[in-house]
Amino acid sequence: GAGVSQSPSNKVTEKGKDVELRCDPISGHTALYWYRQSLGQGLEFLIYFQGNSAPDKSGLPSDRFSAERTGGSVSTLTIQRTQQEDSAVYLCASSPRTQNTEAFFGQGTRLTVV
């Protein structure tokens, strides 16, 4: 595609429900990153993929968070039993590879847990 696509753009969910956030990277980009941006905070790294494998999951806040990538393309970030502190904008980025290449971001998914 022309750019990184994320869906949904907005999601309101009740506390305790599970949510899935989707990221469609730029075609041919092997590296894919998930970040979280809370109100008034900087970007917090969550996880990155090289192909379908995730060499670095160190940023996932708890075991309620998981992510997968299939076919070296689409990635899904799943949050189980959502809590109010999970409310944030979740941003996805892709780049041709890791190291020394430009990263391109999607428009993000704004998650609100009520």
Partner 1 sequence: KQEVTQIPAALSVPEGENLVLNCSFTDSAIYNLQWFRQDPGKGLTSLLLIQSSQREQTSGRLNASLDKSSGRSTLYIAASQPGDSATYLCAGEGGSEKLVFGKGTKLTVNP
Burial (0-12, 13-18, 19+ Cβ within 10 Å), 49: buried
Among 38, 45, 61, 83, binds partner 1 (CB under 8 A): 45
State the nearest-atom distance from the C-beta of 71 to partner 1, in Å.
Answer: 21
State the nearest-atom distance from the C-beta of 91 to partner 1, in Å.
Answer: 6
The residue with tokens 């941003």 is: 91
State the nearest-atom distance from the C-beta of 102 to partner 1, in Å.
Answer: 4
By CB under 8 A, what part of segment 87-106 binds partner 1? 91, 93, 98-106
- Dihedral sign computed on CA atoms, order 112, 44, 102, 33: negative
State the nearest-atom distance from the C-beta of 58 to partner 1, in Å.
Answer: 9
- Residues in contact with partner 1 by the rule CB under 8 A: 4, 6, 31, 33, 35, 41-43, 45, 48, 50, 55-56, 91, 93, 98-108, 110
